[in-house]
Amino acid sequence: MGTISLKNISKSFGSTQVLNNLNVDINDGEFLTLVGPSGCGKSTLLRIIAGLEQQTSGDVLIDNKNVNRVRASERDLAMVFQSYALYPHLTVRRNLETPLRLRDYNAFERLPLIGNFSPSKKEKTESINQLVNKTSETLKISELLDRKPGQLSGGQRQRVALGRAMVREPVAFLMDEPLSNLDAALRVHMRSELSELHNSLKTTFVYVTHDQAEALTMSSRMAVMIDGNLLQLDTPQEVYDNPSSLSVAQFVGSPKINIFKGTADSGGTVGFLNVNLKRKSSESNTDLHIGIRPEHLEITNESNENTFSGTVAYRENLGSDIFFHVNIEDGSNKIIVRGLPQFTHQISNGSKVNIKRVSDKALLFNEAGMRVQFTNA
């Protein structure tokens, strides 16, 4: 079992409030990502779960047991750190053994030399060795066991750090931006490896990252945090398609969602630039933000009441897609439009283009940044 419940967690350092009354229920075997811009309190939340930090108020429950007063080492959680935090003076084998030795040996058996006289130590050493070997085979680090962390590459250290967390078979893994020290290619590769590892271990993963791509690719659910508040907790697809607020919409998705300023008239008809949306807003007579993702805009030859025009300021070719950064005619907006290379390869910087939108994809937000629904009618 590995359920974790956070109930009304608040944390402040002095007068600065970093976490604001958070409630999260993490299911057994789930891959939950805490994602948010740096400084949003996600690492603090993870440290509170781990027991390395004490919450100002609220309860942490692991497997329905309140662990507020339980020390980090007794919560049976394992943590992987951004800098890996391997013991620099110990070999990889000893690094992996350390958590097991501390858990399995008693105080007498840990003593140097005379500890060896304990009758039960041999058996325990045997089982520790087996666990270390098993883990190092899973992670393919068997040939590194006799090296020191200083002699390993970033990716290898990452694996060893994972291994040190795995050997103990904890109820949940906590990971604090474990991939951010790796180079781009390795990071993408490790994403899939982590997902596979999660599938085979079936243990709860709580994963902290500022990279929304990692959150979208790996998690079963993601929790978007901004400024110490939990804004949305849902599956990646749902968070992407149905963001609860403007901040979430802007944070999730790369390139960023395009935001247009518009209005809803008394009948709820939403208009921005020269365009009117077919669907009606549930809030009328108000200013609105209309969000449209780059892939929901198209470059077109048509020119009618549903299109608007602009000048290409910058063309970002990613091979599979080309993103056009377009300055809208009236100068109000700079937007990003996705184009497929086979249709748009001839468009260059400075070209004038017409843009139309894919219908039924716009998202409405009110002045306060909260989501506004369309009426069903």
Angle at 195 between CA 190 and CA 198, to 5 degrees: 125
Taking contact as CB under 8 A, which single stretch among the options 146-154, 286-294, 309-317, 336-344 is the one that binds other proteins? 146-154
**Residue 99 vs 291, nearer CB to other proteins:** 99
Region label for 362, one of left (φ > 0), alpha (ψ between -120 and 50) or beta (otherwise): beta
Q: What is the residue type of 26?
A: I
User: Cβ of 369: how many Cβ atoms within 10 Å?
Assistant: 15
Cβ neighbours around 127 below 10 Å, total = 11
DSSP states of 292-349: E-GGGEEEES--STTEEEEEEEEEEE-SS-EEEEEEETTSS-EEEEEE-HHHHTT--T
Per CB under 8 A, does 103 bind other proteins? yes
Single residue of 84, 251, 308, 324 touching other proteins by CB under 8 A = 84
**Any contact of residue 150 with other proteins (CB under 8 A)?**
yes
Q: Cβ-count burial of 224 within 10 angstroms (0-12 exposed, 13-18 middle, 19+ buried)?
A: buried
Under the phi-then-psi rule, with left for phi > 0, alpha for psi from -120 to 50, and beta for the rest, what region is 169?
Answer: left
Query: For the stretch 289-328, what's the b/e string if a residue is b when 16 or more beta carbons lie within 10 angstroms of its beta carbon?
Result: bbbbbbbbbbbeeeeeebbbebebeebeeeeeebbbbbeb
Using CA atoms, how far apart are residues 226 and 231, in angstroms rounded to an integer? Answer: 7
From 2, 41, 149, 294, residue interacting with other proteins (rule: CB under 8 A): 149
Amino acid at 297: L
279 binds other proteins (CB under 8 A): no
12 is a site residue for other proteins (CB under 8 A): no
* 87 near other proteins, rule: CB under 8 A: yes
- Quick one: which segment of 83-91, 297-305, 310-318, 365-373 binds other proteins (CB under 8 A)? 83-91
What are the residue ranges of helices labelled H in 140-221? 154-166, 184-201, 212-218
261 binds other proteins (CB under 8 A): no
Q: How many CA atoms lie within 13 A of 177 on its CB side?
A: 16
Establish how many alpha carbons lie within 13 A of residue 143's alpha carbon, considering only the half-sphere containing its beta carbon: 1
273 contributes a contact to other proteins by CB under 8 A: no
Q: Which stretch binds other proteins (CB under 8 A): 20-28, 144-152, 183-191, 196-204?
A: 144-152
Nearer to other proteins, 111 or 313 (CB): 111
102 binds other proteins (CB under 8 A): yes
Closer Cβ to other proteins, 178 or 236, answer by number: 178
Angle between helical axes of 92-104 and 154-166 (0-180°, round to 10): 20
Please, what is the minimum distance in Å from the beta carbon of residue 79 to other proteins?
Answer: 5
Applying CB under 8 A, the site for other proteins has a residue count of 30
Residues 6+ apart with CB under 8 A from 37: 210, 226, 251
Position among 8, 27, 57, 83 found at the interface with other proteins (CB under 8 A): 83
Assess 85 for contact with other proteins (CB under 8 A): yes
> Does 82 interact with other proteins (rule: CB under 8 A)?
yes
| Closest among 174, 365, 360 to 264, alpha carbons compared | 365
Residue 77 touching other proteins (CB under 8 A):
yes
Instruction: Give the range of 58-66, 88-96, 186-194, 255-263 binding other proteins by CB under 8 A.
Output: 88-96
Q: Closest approach of Cβ 29 to other proteins, in Å?
A: 21
Least distance from C-beta 85 to other proteins, angstroms? Answer: 4
Choosing from 1, 39, 57, 89, the residue that interacts with other proteins (CB under 8 A) is 89
374 binds other proteins (CB under 8 A): no
Q: Does 52 bind other proteins (CB under 8 A)?
A: yes
184-201 helix and 154-166 helix, angle to the nearest 10 degrees: 20
Q: Is 42 in the site for other proteins (CB under 8 A)?
A: no
Residue 73 contacts other proteins per CB under 8 A: yes
Residues 170-229 that bind other proteins (CB under 8 A): 181
Query: Does residue 294 belong to the site contacting other proteins (CB under 8 A)?
Result: no
- Under rule CB under 8 A, residue 14 binds other proteins: no
Residue 17 sits at the vertex; the CA angle it makes with 11 and 23, to the nearest 5 degrees, is 50
Write out the residues near other proteins by the rule CB under 8 A: 47, 50, 52, 72-74, 77-79, 81-90, 98-99, 102-103, 148-150, 152, 157, 164, 181
